[in-house]
Amino acid sequence: MKSPSQENKIEKPQNLALVIFGATGDLTYRKLIPAVYDLFNQKMLPEKFYILAIGRKELSNDSFRKKMINGIRKFSESIYQNDEQIEAFVSYLSYFRMDFQDATEYQRLRDALQNCDITNGTQSNYLFYLSLPPSLFGPIAGFLGQVGLNDETHGFSRLIIEKPFGYDLESGRALNNQLHEDFIESQIYRIDHYLGKETVQNLLVMRFANGIFEPLWNRNYIDHIEVTSAESIGVEGRGGYYDGSGALRDMLQNHLLQMVCLTAMEPPSSMAADSIRNEIFKVLQSLKPIREDEVNTHVIRGQYVASHVRGEAITGYREEKDVDPESRTETYVAMKFFIDNWRWGGVPFYIRTGKRLPTRVTEVVVHFKPTPHGLFQGDKACRSCNQLIIRIQPDEGILLKFAMKNPGAGFDVKTVNMDFHYSDLSHEHLPSAYERLIYDAMIGDSTLYARADAVEAAWKFVEPVQKVWASDPDQKIHGYPAGTWGPENADDLVSNGDSSGWRYPCKNLADDGNYCEL
């Protein structure tokens, strides 16, 4: 019989080389290297590993390592801040200069990796992370294939790519086809950092490890479901990129639909990657298509305009650097849709995302149906009392809202909160999203990565909206003052009889009403 310590033993990855393309960029500095360093401190890396950091700039090993040390000290977990450990970790880093778009350079890369196998024992196991613009994904995959770095005869070869996975259905399919010319689907890891968040994964545990939820998780007891992903910041100097993307492509098509899938999916047959990803794909297949003539009534798009927030003047989107002064790119989008299956038939789903909203928050809200007959004074004020809120960020946790009697004579009813905060687990390490996802790719677990068919199904769902917005210049884009919850008519989207409407969340999970801390 295994001891508890043996049961909980962390799976060690095989010896490998992590190859980061675009290693001089901000993502590597702020996220990737600090995440791998945290894995190093938890002894979750293989016994023999190496990091080959690839960039175009002329840098020495020492100068690159110094930069990464600064990134580790700024962005890794404070509990792991140890000079000796940091020095030990960066000794596994080497900088490799090459032109990503020059096919002749890849033989030199292969030679470097083969030498790494000999000197560092990485055993021909390669994890390629493309921290680069999406236009380079296909070409680099092809160049790797040309020199045999996609071959898994003597070890594994895996490819991690960042979103966006295309810009519409056609380009998404084209990218998948291009990648599949040299890598099979099991070698491709499409990373969505939202799925690496602990509370997103906890959706699965909360639903399928607790018998109290599953009997209620259907059209008989749930009135509607709401998903919000709000940002308080603007485009932050990325106006050129964002103006060609917008909220629909940048957030809704991937992050929000993935959270909908985890909320709505059927129980998988096991926790194997394919079992879970099959159920996610089934949800995407079951999304009721929004016809082009329904776009106006089912989708609201907005764009933030100049405003004053807490005494500070905030620039409007069209005045941001590198943004077209006549831009019609949406910084806010809200959508109403349905899932056509037995579990969810007739239950509306509402999702929204935007920039320059009052606070940064991501959460799923399950609105349960009210009682069929109101017995108590204050029942109408309690239409929103039966809510389950799963907070993804910040103040990660779970909040249940329900009705209780006010002290005193009579049966006056008010809403009360029962909440759990992840911060209460002070003795537990809360891994970053990249920490979890990089580790999963190392051990070959693709559960939290997007599959090709799911990516295309998501693009297919938003395609009618993209077509209408692109083809009709008279389609409305509603202005909303920076620091507010988006266009006023977004509230009309959720008018659902006695429905409680959108929830307006606070920075702190359990705060409500006048006590909201933004």
| Cβ atoms of residues 303 and 331 within 8 Å | yes
Are the beta carbons of 497 and 409 closer than 8 angstroms? no
- CA–CA distance, 405 with 367 (Å, rounded to integer): 20
Spatial separation of the C-alpha atoms in residues 94 and 98, rounded to whole Å: 13
Contact by Cβ (8 Å): 190, 455: yes
Instruction: Tell me if 64 sits within 8 A of 95, measured CB to CB.
Output: yes
Rounded-to-integer distance, Cα 358 and Cα 482, Å: 8
Do the bridges between strand 387-393 and strand 413-421 make them parallel or antiparallel, or are there none, so unpaired? Answer: unpaired
**H helix count then E strand count, the chain:** 17, 17
Q: How far apart are the first and last CA of the chain?
A: 51
Question: Out of 154, 180, 224, 255, which one is annotated catalytic?
Answer: 255
CB-based burial label for 6 (10 Å; 0-12, 13-18, 19+): exposed
- Name 338's bridge partners: 348
Residue type, 31: K
Strand partners, 21: 54, 130
224 is catalytic: no
| Residue 365 to residue 72: CA distance in whole angstroms | 35
* Count of C-beta atoms within a 10 Å radius of residue 22: 22
Residues annotated as part of the active site: 255
